[in-house]
Amino acid sequence: MVLKYKILQLFLLLFLIGCNSSSSVDSTKVSKLEAPTGDKIYFGAFPDFGGSEDKVTTKRLTDFEQLIEKKPLWAYFSQNWYNGIRYPKEAVETIHEQGITPFVRLMPRSTEEQFVKEPTFTMSNIINGKFDKELRQWAKDAKAHNIPLLIDFAVEANGDWFSWSGIFNGKDTKDTYGDTDYYDGAERYRDAYRHIIDIFRDEKVLHVTWFFHADIYSNPDAKWNRAKLYYPGDDYIDWIGVSLYGAQNPKENYWDSFSQILEERYKTILEISTKKPIALLEFGVTDNHPMGSKSEWLEDAFETILSGQYINFKAISYWHETWEESDDVFASIRVDSSEESLETFKEYAHNKRFIYTDKK
């Protein structure tokens, strides 16, 4: 076990060196983030890059690092296609210069408004090559920049809030696209993601680790909307990711613990693949809820993660943000929404099993 851990440390060091020095990456060789061995767990974060999820600044990165007294392994941000399908070089460099791995969410949307049909960046348009020129340039620019990336595409497709959901792309029909034995909504998403990865492969972009990101809840919870149906396949994806949130604002009339939610839904994630490591890419809960304590929710979450119960997570990533959901109703997800929550978070986040960029 000691030898395995030393090998892991060496691999991680080489990966991070690649992230911190573009000249050290050999663009002719595959560079992927492998899962840690033993009981180690990578620790990343969305460090409050704003409501549009793309306000990447050095200050936001250092503020989060100073807050939790750790430097996360990765920083998660969105590349919103309404700003153009362009390689986010400036954001990647800003994260890279802090010694952190850039994690890009490809978000094919024309607006941040949810529960609406997408007019432009549809799964069918992606499949049919409408954006191939832009995507190919994205890939070429990433290759030229030569900084290892983590990427996921169109997150939480098994929900009903984003326009790439199966609800907006064929739902439960089987005869409007592709395989007549496959549900069209999930099949279009799957093939769109495959199409993007194929473009990167064609351009020989070898320093991207690809994530498939589902929500713990399928909404609606129907046979045609199971997370596994959206999966591009083991030949395309390196990691499975999942979002798991508790109540997101004080007026939501429920308070389920992290472990309760995971116990109820973990099989829907495990059935996606038996071969890929699983990352908890988003988790969090609101503060100031009348039905429960955020500090206790976090304690339960970390205890469950560290126990390996239900799912043996090989990486976790906290969603550090506060936003207004409606008039004067705030989702207080930030780790420092209260002094008690921050102290609980730091107590568990400093567990020696978590792997950060730094060695603190």
Nearest to 74 by CA among 15, 131, 8: 15
Q: Where are the domains of the chain?
A: 2-19+31-355
Residues whose CB falls within 8 Å of the CB of residue 255, separated by 6 or more in sequence, listed in order: 246, 247, 289, 291, 292
At 344, which helix (H) or strand (E)? helix 339-349
**Is the pTM above the cut of 0.85?**
yes
pLDDT given for residue 252 in this prediction: 92
Is the preceding omega at residue 119 within 30 degrees of 0, hence cis? no
pLDDT given for residue 125 in this prediction: 98
**Tokens standing for 154?**
């169109």
| pLDDT < 50 stretches in the chain | 1-11, 13-14, 17-24, 360
pLDDT given for residue 28 in this prediction: 63
Question: Domain 2-19+31-355 falls in which CATH fold?
Answer: TIM Barrel (3.20.20)
pLDDT given for residue 17 in this prediction: 44
